[in-house]
Amino acid sequence: MRGLALVAMVAVGCGGGGVDDPDGGPRGPHGGRLVFDAAMLEDPPDAGHAVDAGFVRIDSGPPRLDGGPPRVDAGRTCTGYPTSCAVVGPYSCVSQRGCYRGGECGGYPRSCYSMYSSYACNSQDGCYWSTYTDSCSGSARSCSGYYGSSSCGGQDGCRWDDTCEGVATSCSLLTTSECALQQGCYLR
């Protein structure tokens, strides 16, 4: 609908009552030059684009290396040094571009020889219950051998520690909205 109204305005503006340009270009009713930019149909000028003497300039900045949408930042750039994912807390991790939540299983598994019931013994990975001696023996699996929170929590003496992993995205590759969320980055 906006495009139809713009075409109608251009057609009326180029019609009678105007002055023809000596080099053949169209002129408006009072001699003003008409400039039509098809990009204006898609992006309103108030969307952060620079407006200069009646012309709309759209500068999307340098190309994105990660294939994301072009930056439209009205001249402001994201700069700084992103905080390492390893330093970011596990709960802030998901808001950081390039980082993801991970974790590791830590602690010390309870010894098989300290278990006195068949249920507790058989629940501990690496231990087995002997009905002949009515005791638990074996070697409990190390906590570092678990790679998920549920399996780690199932081994008595082990605990899951949430971590933030990955490589934080460089500030210069972020859009203005992403820049505000990335720790260590700021708009300049």
Question: How big is the chain by its Cα radius of gyration, in Å?
Answer: 33
DSSP label at residue 130 = E
Q: How far apart are CA 155 and CA 158, in angstroms?
A: 6
Burial of 134 (0-12, 13-18, 19+ CB in 10 A): exposed
CB 126 within 8 A of CB 139: yes
The beta strand positions in 112-155, using DSSP E, are 127-130, 135-138
- The one-digit pLDDT tens for each residue of the chain (188 residues) are 444 343 344 444 444 444 444 555 555 555 555 454 444 444 444 444 443 344 333 444 455 555 555 454 457 899 999 999 999 888 889 889 999 999 999 999 999 999 999 999 999 999 999 999 999 999 999 999 999 999 999 999 999 999 999 999 999 999 988 898 899 999 98
The structural domains of the chain, with segments of one domain joined by +, span 2-57, 99-166
